[in-house]
Amino acid sequence: MGNLFGCMIVDQSTVAIKEKFGKFDEVVEPGCHCVPWCLGSQLAGHLTLRVQQLDVRCKTKTKDNVFVNVVASIQYRALADKANEAFYKLSNTRSQIQAYIFDVIRAFVPKLNLDDTFEQKNDIAKAVEDELEKAMSA
């Protein structure tokens, strides 16, 4: 019934993307809002601001020809002030993050022996964090 009168509710910890005649208009904060569809306004979609976790398993070979399974758990969230960029520029966030993680792990681990891989897990984590921060901040 609310859609008939143009009233839309945006849940807590999410934002909505409002378009006017198919073009980005504004980011709508949580709460009740008037979106007059008869004047060309519509909600294009919702974006969650909650912290999400992505577990990535990567099989790679070490310097001493031993195959290891590296498991990386990445926690990420969209920033409210860059919600329109996250909605329109990233098509599949999870697979894009996963691709960056694969690249970093497959570049870093083959330089190490098996024992060094376990000892330098913090260095691997730092390399993944730096690469993701550099890629996702753009």
Sequential pLDDT tens for the chain (138 residues): 455 567 888 999 999 999 999 899 999 999 998 888 888 888 899 999 999 999 999 999 999 999 999 998 999 998 889 898 889 988 888 998 899 999 999 999 999 998 888 888 899 889 888 988 888 776
Other beta carbons within 10 Å of 103: 14
Mind listing the domains of the chain with CATH numbers?
2-48 (no CATH), 52-137 (3.30.479.30)
| Cα–Cα distance, 108 to 101 (Å, whole number) | 11
pLDDT of residue 5: 65
| pLDDT for res 136 | 77
Per-residue pLDDT, 1: 42
Longest Cα separation, the chain: 67
CB 97 within 8 A of CB 133: no
The span from the CA of 75 to the CA of 64, in Å, is 31
For 97, residues 6+ apart whose C-beta sits below 8 A from its C-beta are 54, 56, 74, 76, 132, 136
